[in-house]
Each structure stands twice: as C-alpha cells, then as structure tokens.
Amino acid sequence: MGLLLPILLTAGAPLRAEAPVSKEYQVKAVFLFNFAQFVQWPPKSFTSAGDPFYIGILGEDPFDAFLDETVKGEKVDGHPLVIRRYGNVEEATGCQILFISRSEAGRMADILSSLKGRNILTVADSGNFIENGGVVYFVTEGKKIHFKISLEAAKQAKLTISSQVLRLAQIAGPGKE
Amino acid sequence: MRGCKKNLAFLSLIFCSFCFSPAGAQVPNPFPTPSPTPSPTPLATSNGPMSSLKKMSLEELMNLDVTSVSKQPEPFGQAPAAINVITNDAIRRSGASSIPEALRLADNLEVAKASSSGWDITARGFNTGLANKLLVLMDGRTLYSPLDSGVFWNVQDYLLEDIDRIEVVSGPGGTLWGANAVNGVINITSKDAKDTQGAYVEGGGGTQPQDFGGIRYGGKLDADVYYRFYGKYFDGANEVLVDGSNAGDPWRMGQGGFRIDDEGDSQNHFTLQGDIYDSAVSSTAGDGESAGGNVLGRWSHNISADSDLSLQLYYDHTYFNAPKTQAHLGPFVSAPAGVFADSLETYDLDFQHHFHWDGANNFIWGLGCRITHDLVTPAPSLTFQPTLLDQGLFSFFAQDEFELGNDLFLTAGSKVEHNDYTGYEFEPSGRLKWNLAEAQMVWAAVSRAVRMPSRIDHDLEEPTPNLVPFGIKELLIGGSDFESETVVTYELGYRAQLAKEFSTSISTFFNNYSDIRSTSSTPSGPLGLLPLYFQNNLEAQTGGVEWTVDYQVLEGWRMHAGYDLLQENVWVKPGQTDLNNALNETADPKNQVFVRSSMDLPGDLELDPAFRWVDSLTYNYNAGVPGVVPSYAELDLRLAWHPIKDIEISVTGQNLLHDYHLEYAAGGPFEEIQRSVYGKLACRF
C-alpha cells in the first residue's frame, strides 16, 4: 500500500508540458555536469588555460537540449564547458567526458578499445561497459539512478575521482564483475 | 504504551465522567480526528527542472525517483491533493526526537501532546480521545488499530536518520487506501538499505528525552544486495499536572530492526524488513507494557517502461497491557482494579498493477486482503465481546487518469471493500487537475470515504461486577447495529511555484459527514439510563483552508509559513439523541499558525527556529458540558554544528516560551507539556 502514494502522485502529466527530456536523462545530465567538477584530469589534457572542457555524446543524443542548458555558462577550473555530439568514436578522442549512448550498446567493446589510453571519463548506461574498460556506468536501481565506477579504468585513463563521488558509487571493474 | 494508556484513559473517561455526574448522562467522546492544514513543502525550489536539479547534491540526485512518467523533479508538486512532504533533512533540522514530533512539520495536521508518551494527531478535525479518521502507514504497513481505529503513537518509532520522508495528505484517500482514510493519510517511508550504507551512531540527553542512543550499520550481502540493521532506545521524562507537580508518567522504549533490499536488476526489487520493540510506561494507575514486532516482504517488478506491479505481504503482532484502577458509579465501587491487555496479529497481502494504456491513460488497480486475530484479556471494568475475534477485510480498487483536454486531467476511480461488520463499502473519488500556466496548478476533487466500525464501536463492554446484585451489569457497551461513518468531501486547491525562490499552496475543503458516533441511553434500564451504548446519531459539516508559503530568502536561508482554518458544525440528527450533545467527537483548534526558518550560518552552523500558535479547543468535559483548552504559542529552537563533515553536534530546545503548557484534554488528570532541552551527537563513518 505504501507504494500507492508515489504512483498516484507522479501519475500526472508535467506542469511544464514542454519539458522534452525524460527525468531520467535530466538527472543523468546533471550527474555528467557534476562529474566534470569532481574528477581531475591530467594537466596535459588541456593545451592552454582557456581551452574548452568538452562533454561529448557518442551516438543518439538522449538529452536533447537539456545537457546544453545544464552546462551553459559553466566553467571547470577556468575551462568553459562545451557539449559536442559525435557520430563515430574517432571524432571523440579530444573530449574530457564521453557519454556513450544506448544506440552504441552493441559496439561497446570496439568503442572502448579505441579510446584506450585516452584521458577520457567514459560514461554509459547500456552494454557491456564496465567489462570492456568503461569508467562510470549508470544503473537504475528501483526508481533511482546510481552508478558504478571502475577504479582500474579510471587509473588507466589517469583520472583522479573525488572521494565524494567514490563513496556514493559501487566500485566495480573488469576483474570484479 | 502511550497508545494503550490513552485508549484506556478514554475508556475510563467515559466512566469517570459518568461518576462525576451520576444522574446525568455523559459520555465521552471516544475518538477524535481533526485538523486542518495547509500544504506542501517543496523538495526543491526552482522555476524549472534544470535549475533545481543542478542545485542538488550527488546524494540528492541519487535519491530522486526517476521512474515516474512525470517530468518534474517534484512529483508531489503535481498531485491534485492537499499534500505535505516532510523530508529526512527537515526532520533532522527540526530536532524532532520521535515520529509524532516530526509530524508537527506537516502544517495540514493537528498534533497535540497529551502526556509524556501520549499524542493526539489528526487532519481536518475530529481529534477526540484517539483520532479515528486517519490512515497511517509505515513502509506499507497499516498502523491504526482495529480495536478503536486509532494509532498508538507511543509505539510507532524508527531511527529517524533512516526515514526517507513522510507524506501527509489531508482529505480522503479511501479510493486508493481504503478504510479509515477519511480525513487524511500519513505515509512514512524508510530509506532503501542501499541509501543507509556504513555506520551511524547517535546519542544524547537532557530534560526530555532524558537519554537516548541509536546505532545503525549498513553493508552489502552480495553485489546488489544491501542490508542494514539498527537499534535504539530512549528514556522519556515525566510531564506535569496542571499545578506543575510531577505526573509520574515516565516511559522508555527500545526498538531494533533490519531491512534488506535486493536490487539485482532494473526489473525487480525485493525488500525484506522487520522490527521489534518493547516499551514501558508508568502512570498513577501502575505500570504498563507494550511490545510487538513485524516482518514485511515486497516484490516490485517493472514489466516494461509503461507497466509495473508490486506484491506485498506482512505480518504484525502488537501487544499491550495497561493497569485499570477500580471503577466507580457515583459513590459506589462498580469494579475492582485490574489489568487490561490486547494482543493483535495481522496478516496482510496487497497486490497492485499500474500501467499506461492507449498512450493517454494511466491506470492502476489492486487487490488487498487483511486478516486480524485479536485477543483481549479483560479487566474487571473493561472488556470486548467476544474477547477473541478473527476478522477479514477484502478490497479491490481501480483508478484511471486521463487527459480531458489541453492541460486538463481527470483521475477517477473507486475502492470496494468488504468488512465483517457492515459488508461492502464503496469509496469513489474524482479529481480534476488543470495546469493553468507553467508551474501553476488548480485542482478540484469530490470523494467519498468510510470509517468502518472498529471493535470499540461494536464490541466494547464496561462491566460493573460489583453492582450486578442491583441489576446493573454494564455502564457502556458498543452498538450491535453500529454502522460505518461516511464523509463526502469537496476540495479545491491551487499550487504554484511563482518564482524561483517562492512557492505556495492553498487547499480548501467542505466535508459532509453522516452517521458519526453518538452515545445513547437505555431508558428502560437501571437508573433509566444504563447501559449507555454507541449509535450513529450525529451528522457534521466541516470546512476549512490550508495554506503554506515557502520562501528561499538567501542561498542558505529558507522560510516557511503555514495557516489552517477549520470550522466544525456537529449536530444530533432530528429525532435522535446524544448524551454528549454532539460534543464528544471534536476537540480541535479553529486556527493554527506555523512559522519556521532554516538557516545555514558561517562556521558550519545551522539554526532552525520553529514557532507555532494553536487556537483554543473545546472538548467534552462531562456529559455534553464543554471544557476549553486555551490557545497557546510555542517555540522550538535547534542549533547544530558540524566540526567535520560526518559529525553533528546539536542542542534542541522545545516549547521554550512557557515552563509548561496544556495542549490537549480528554479524560483526566490532564497533563501539561514542559519546556525541554536536549543535546545530541551524531556521527557517520
């Protein structure tokens, strides 16, 4: 019976009828924005102090304009956040965070192997991601979004993830699962 | 304990009032429920989903429910109902040390503390004795007692740190929740075990509670299987009598429990949880004990993105015993002292299925079955007949929400319930929601709800064994033909996020009640009066307003204000009688005002004052002669310091404006609530 209330209360259509993106991806977009602040990239990732910080989306974009709105006007250590959309992985090698869309789930192993050695925080919510060397994997648990982090993959990409993120994550890795 | 004590207090009240006026007819007012209130506390203030999400911490993001079809961060913001949500953070910052204290954060409730362990809580009026028109759930487990339809608040406890939220709906919820959701529904939800990983320890003490401690540890059993277990105890100090002398009613309680959540895949979620408790309370009549436990299992399954179901089964056992002093009828002892006890076992099965259909319909239906096994151990002056009773409650409900036109939505449905006393009961409702502009909503509802008879209405007996030689067998008995009380409620509300920092909600209601409990006499019996018995001879109309405002003054400073208006009119049906002159079912303030501030100060300090003003309330002093509890104003204040992130040191002062004040009266002797201060240390690691 306790479940009824949330269902009842959330059953309605949104007040903002124009909101185009599912809440799931709104929250994931804000997570990506947070990751930009809680992860440290090696200094060589940027050639100059004012270089953009790129968050890339590989494959079909589930965020619509929401991710762009989220990072609009935001900076990380002086680097303005910029969203890039990529059709194939070769274009994506210059970004700092790469969200790999569900449309690419079947090619996860190939995509991740071609990113090996890059200083990229790879993020996905589909496919055999962690097993193939991805870093952050979104899981929907119950009704909430949680994430798994592969410390080994983060280490290979030379990324330092804040303990504020790690303590909330499930630690996973190719060797663990 | 409080509960049982109160319950007995009520019964003895009936009796006592009678002995005060042996010739007169008086009868107590067995159960109340009351109160008006306003509504919502936004979970996040924002003028759009993005800005509010961006302000959230990672923890908050992880706690958002994202499965809803809704695209709003504040799902309850869209509910076409008068709803307040009390968050975990609000509870922590209030300094509340118990669930009833935390309920003071819901503006749409009346919360009155009647003794050290006794609380009277209701929504929209009818708060006498034990409020009987409220449905209260803890993680899906029903808390009201079929003995009298009231909630024994003294044994409803939890480690507050692990409560996720408390949703308080004022107004009927019978269509979804069924019996007893007449004036409101309180839904207490504990955190998922996944969200309570690691160790948490708290402890402290002061004048009230005198000392307390709690501990929780959460870990993983398997990759996606999380658990926690917890234990807590407290020693509650006595309160005082009207003259300031010690009321001699200290109480203490211990509770422990566990919760396991298996979140192995996104399709299925299994929960298994349980608690046990033991509580002791003293009174002038002697010492009493309450004890109980429960275990609950739930399976939630996502069939697809548009369809999910859940199946829940629980078992609950509660026991209490309470001393009864010898009873009197006028100058005569009618029954010797003794001990009354009640042992209740509940088996409950609930199923529900929710799906979208045809793109435009949001449909939910479900089935429920509850079996209760209640065994009363009589005291000489109090029993229920039969002492052993098995009952079954079976229910079905269905509800659909669909779009009528642009931005206009209708939710319609009904519950059908079968109980052993009155057979089938119907609880339909229709709710209309109109999104009239961005972040503004107008809603309206018409609902019918039912309070089916409880054992006290039907099976109560107050024997007078000493007076049997004089032909007097009982003082008060239940009504063998007692019917369900019903209400038809009309509601109209408006809720809006008018600016990024400013939101408000206003709910209005008009309630039309039929067949409210009354007390009749037996003119052909002894003294031309006895036994007294319950009937349904009252009708009532109530109306009111519940208004809340939330304002984010600065980044770390938030203000909240709430106001309730409640007008009640209760009368005896033409040609019928009530020994209490229609006074016994209500003891409610006409006006309530709440003002709270929540401020983050430099140096990792938090300062949270909470002011409330509660109007006077009129209660049944004796056989329809009114008594009055004066209005009062009180202030709570909490100051907390976080020397490092996972340590919190706090001092909470409650009811600071007076040495002691009266909040409620029914039965007697009345107890007043003292100013209190306690300190607390909480660590997480």
Chosen from B52, B53, B356, B401 to mutate, greatest number of chain A CBs within 10 A = B53
Query: Which of B26-30, B178-182, B494-498, B569-573 is most confident?
Result: B569-573
Res B277: pLDDT: 97
Q: Measure CB to CB from residue A4 to each of B56, B177, B300 and give the nearest one.
A: B177
Structure tokens that stand for B376 in this block: 């009363």
Chain B neighbors of A36, CB-CB under 8 A: none
The domain that contains A65 carries what CATH number?
Answer: 3.40.50
CA-to-CA distance for B530 and B406, rounded, in angstroms?
62
Would you call B70 and A13 a contact, using CB atoms and an 8 Å cutoff? yes
Domains of chain B by residue range: 2-684
- Residue of A3, A10, A145 lying closest to B62 (CB–CB): A145
Residue A106 inside a domain? The answer is yes
Mean pLDDT, rounded, for B386-409: 91
- What per-residue string of b and e applies to B35-64 under the rule 16 or more CB within 10 Å gives b? bbbbbbbbbbbbbbbbebbbebebebbbbb
d(CA A13, nearest CA chain B) in Å: 6
**Predicted complex ipTM:** 0.80
Categorize the per-residue pLDDT at B668 as very low, low, confident or very high, splitting at 50, 70 and 90.
low
Letter for the amino acid at B508?
T
- Look at domain B2-684 and name its CATH class: mainly beta
Tell me whether residues B61 and A145 touch, CB distance under 8 A. yes
Task: Confirm if B225 and A141 have CB atoms less than 8 A apart.
Answer: no
Q: Tell me if A7 and B300 make a contact (CB, 8 A cut-off).
A: no
Contacts with B230 (C-beta within 8 Å, 6 or more apart), sequence order: B159, B162, B214, B215, B216, B217, B256, B257, B258
Among A19, A168, A177, beta carbon nearest to B62: A168
Helix H segments across A11-74?
A: 23-38, 66-71
Among A69-83, B13-27, B137-151, B436-450, which stretch is predicted with the lowest mean pLDDT?
A: B13-27
Alpha-carbon distance of B83 to B45, in angstroms, equals 16
Q: With bands split at pLDDT 50, 70 and 90, how would you rate the model's confidence at B31?
A: very low
Angle, CA B491 vertex, CA B490 and CA B494 arms, to 5°: 160
Q: For residue A67, give how far its alpha carbon lies from the nearest alpha carbon of chain B (Å).
A: 9
Q: Answer left, alpha or beta for residue B244, where phi above 0 means left and psi between -120 and 50 means alpha.
A: left
pLDDT category of residue A177 using cuts at 50, 70 and 90: very low
What mean pLDDT comes out for the span B21-43?
Answer: 28
Average pLDDT of chain B is: 86
**Closest CA of chain A from B503, distance in Å:** 14
CA distance B661 to B370: 41
Q: What is the pLDDT of residues B541-560, one digit of tens each?
A: 999 999 999 998 988 899 99
In DSSP terms, B264 is beta-bridged to: none
Indicate the DSSP class of residue B154. Answer: G
Q: What is the pLDDT of residues B297-329, one digit of tens each?
A: 999 888 876 788 999 999 999 999 999 888 888
Radius of gyration, alpha carbons of chain A: 17
Do A84 and A71 contact (CB within 8 A), yes or no? no
Q: CB burial class (10 A; 0-12, 13-18, 19+) of residue B331?
A: exposed
Q: How far is CA B252 from the centre of its chain?
A: 21
With respect to residue A14, please indicate whether it lies within any of the assigned structural domains. Answer: no
Task: Kindly report, residue by residue over B203-262, the tens digit of the pLDDT.
Answer: 999 999 999 999 999 999 988 899 999 999 999 988 988 888 888 888 899 999 999 999
* CA dist., res. A97 & res. B396, Å (int): 50
pLDDT over threshold 80, residue B102:
yes
Which SS3 state, helix, strand or coil, does residue B12 take? helix
CA distance to partner chain B, nearest, from residue A87 (Å): 26
Whether B69 and A13 lie within 8 Å, measured CB to CB: yes
Inter-chain CB proximity A1 and B440 less than 8 Å: no
- CA–CA separation, A94 vs B125, rounded Å? 65
How close B75 gets to chain A, by Cα (Å)?
5
Q: In this structure, are strands A97-100 and A121-124 parallel, antiparallel, or unpaired?
A: parallel
Rounded Cα distance, A115 and A106, in Å: 16
- Domain count of chain A? 1
Q: Give residue A71's domain range.
A: 21-172
B518 DSSP assignment: E
CA–CA distances in Å: residue B337 to residues A117, B231, B250, B459: 83, 36, 21, 21
**Residue A152 domain-assigned (yes or no):** yes
- Summarised one tens digit per residue, pLDDT across range B581-622 is 998 899 999 999 999 999 999 999 999 999 999 999 998 887
Q: What is the pLDDT of residues B113-134, one digit of tens each?
A: 998 888 999 999 999 776 789 9
Beta bridge partners of B369: B349, B394
- The number of residues in chain B equals 685
Residue A3 lies inside a defined structural domain of this protein: no
Residue numbers in B near A5 (CB within 8 A) = 167, 169, 176, 185, 187
Chain B residues with CB under 8 Å of A26 CB are: 49-50, 53, 71, 73
Q: Say if residue B625's pLDDT is above 60.
A: yes
SS3 assignment for B544-613 = EEEEEEEEEEECCEEEEEEEEEEEEEEEECCCCCCCCCCCCCCCCCCEEEEEEEEEEECCCEEEEEEEEE
Is B85:B164 a contact under the CB 8 Å cutoff?
A: no
How far apart, in whole angstroms, are the C-alpha atoms of residue B52 and residue B242? 49
pLDDT (tens digit per residue) in B336-375: 999 999 999 999 999 999 888 776 788 889 999 999 999 9
Tell me: pLDDT of A103 over 60.
yes
